[in-house]
Chain A
Amino acid sequence: MLRPGPRQAPRRNRGIGRGRQTAAAYALLAPSLVGVLGFLLAPVVIVLVLSLFDWKLLATPEFVGLANYRKLFTDSDVWHSMLVTLYYVVICVPGTTILSLLLALLVDRKLRGMKYFRALLVIPWMATPVALGLVWSWIFDPGRGALNQFLGVFGIDGPAWLSSPVLAMPSVAAVHIWQFAGYNMLFFLAGLQNIPRTLREASSLDGASPVAHFFTITLPLLRPTMLFVLITNVIGSFQAFDTIFVMTEGGPGDSTEVATYLIYDEAFKKFDFGYASTISVLLFAVVLVATISQFAYFERRTTYEVSG
């Protein structure tokens, strides 16, 4: 996926010295170097250091070694929030991926007006998460909300979606899926359009059914797209915050208290920067492992399945 291209031979060294080219390059890079190294990479290092300190607002930071980590492993709130986060990821990632793939298969057909359908389906991605979170809170409102009013038309007495510990999480996750299915559809659409049409003709001449064609030819060839969609979605769902902040504030109880929300709470409500940093390190480690293992899995599978 995101891979620097093959090393390019320096091409235009005529007339410009290597030293001057290096100076020019670093001059062009200067602002982004400050941004990337200073505001993206350095904070990762700092958060690692902070996790070794006991640092409450206004108090002097005190080095405590791994004490925060010892606390982490026995803190049921943390493990609860990691499980809640995993639950969220486990609903959102397959939900978004499968729905967006199905939508892509539909809009890949050459029919009239297809470009309008494509555009309409991408609209949820534009949503200001906070604004749409509030709109959805109202749709889920048990009394006057659109969903229960709609169910009422059929004589169904709808539940209190967001104030039920069981239903709150799936409801919030549904909003996530709603928001990103159309956007991810675009990537699958690009992947589908890169598959040569002749393969379809060949397999239908061989008498393969569309379903067999999908599983033996389309799906294996979509592997790179699949990896991209899965990885961006896993990273994205682990970081969910805005919608949850306005829809449930982590509740009811702590049923939607995802890790990001817990970190926000510890750092900016309880002002316990040291411990919040420790939870951040844990979250980062989990995201890293999830991302790397997807790469590994796909690398291993791709080699033999495409030929088989």
Chain B
Amino acid sequence: MKLRVFTYAVLVIGCVFAVFPYLLTVLTAFKGPGQLSETMPWEPGLPPSTAAFDRLFGSGFGGYLVNTALVTAGITLGQVVFAILAAYAFARLSFPGRDALFWVYLSTLMVPPVVTMIPLYLMMQKLGLVDTWAGLMLPTMLGTPYAIFLLRQFFRGIPADLEDAARIDGAGRVRTLVSIVLPLSKPILVTVTTLAVVANWNSFLWPLIVTSSEDKRLLSVGIALFKGEIGVDYNAVMAGSLIALAPLLVLFVVFQRFIVRSVAVTGLK
């Protein structure tokens, strides 16, 4: 009995810690000018004001938002489609070099992104892709070893008999993949897509390096530069942070059950 009360108490404190910075972001973003210095940071300011958002969008933030949404969608789509193809080949086809190649894919998980940053930049320079959409998206959208690994594990668990049946009925490889394998793989596809969206939406170092013009700026870079440009306009910085966080929170609320379960199950096999 005592143990149960203790468990709940610790968990409530833990959750307050987990959520507090988000709450603070919301409260601060909607505070009016002057309210910040009068109230405690965690006190709601009354009445709520959208002045910080007006300042933010007045300085081009809307464009960053659109850019981030489009780039995230584009990279994620590429990553998921190409990962499905590769994972299917690794899971179901037999070909020379398969196991060795799979090891190569996995070993790249150990390479710190900052190590590849300089060569990638120089490559993009050679290709004339610095400060272009292609340069921003290409290096990350083609190969994602982690997604390929997770999908391969899942595909291997699907009974091969189902596919054999379809193939006897005359379905080709692509047809089998699309109409048999993928519908059975919904949970893992949701997870892989969510992981990719989170990573792409949040990505910072590569966009910071490879783009320089403002019309190609992404949210995270915009927010980071904002700190310097606006100085200590905390309201505007929080409003920007809120906009960066909100879509991921919505995503999380919608897919929470899938993510919590399948991160827990698939990450370890």
Residues of A at under 8 Å CB distance from B?
Answer: 1-2, 4-5, 7-8, 10-13, 15, 18, 21-22, 24-26, 28-29, 31-44, 46-47, 50, 103, 106-107, 109, 111, 115, 117-124, 126-132, 134-139, 144-146, 149, 178, 182-183, 186-187, 189-191, 193, 224-225, 228, 235, 238-239, 241-242, 245-246, 260, 263-264, 267-268, 273, 276-277, 280-281, 283-284, 287-288, 291
Contact = CB atoms under 8 A, between A and B. Distances in A.
Contact of B244 (A103, A128, A178): A128
Contacts, number: 300
B184 interface: no
Contact of A235 (B110, B116, B242): B110
Contacts of A284: 111-112, 115
Nearest to B96: A22
A122 B191 CA distance: 14
Given A50-B119, A280-B118, A29 B86 contact: yes
Contacts of B219: 128
A8 B92 CA distance: 9
Contacts of A273: 118, 122
Contacts of B227: 134, 137, 246
Interface of B: 4, 7-8, 10-11, 14-15, 17-19, 21-22, 24-25, 28, 36-37, 40-42, 78, 82-83, 85-86, 88-89, 93-96, 98-99, 101-106, 108-123, 138-145, 148-149, 156, 160, 164, 167, 173, 198, 201-202, 204-205, 209, 219-221, 223-224, 227, 234, 237-238, 240-242, 244-245, 248-249, 251-252, 256-257, 259-260, 263-265, 267-268
Given A111-B7, A189-B264, A263 B220 contact: no
Contacts of A134: 223-224, 227, 237-238, 241
Most chain A beta-carbon contacts within 10 A, residue among B17, B89, B121, B173: B89
Contacts of A106: 7, 10-11, 14
B112 A238 contact: yes
Contacts of A15: 167
B223 A268 contact: no
Contact of B109 (A2, A126, A131): A2
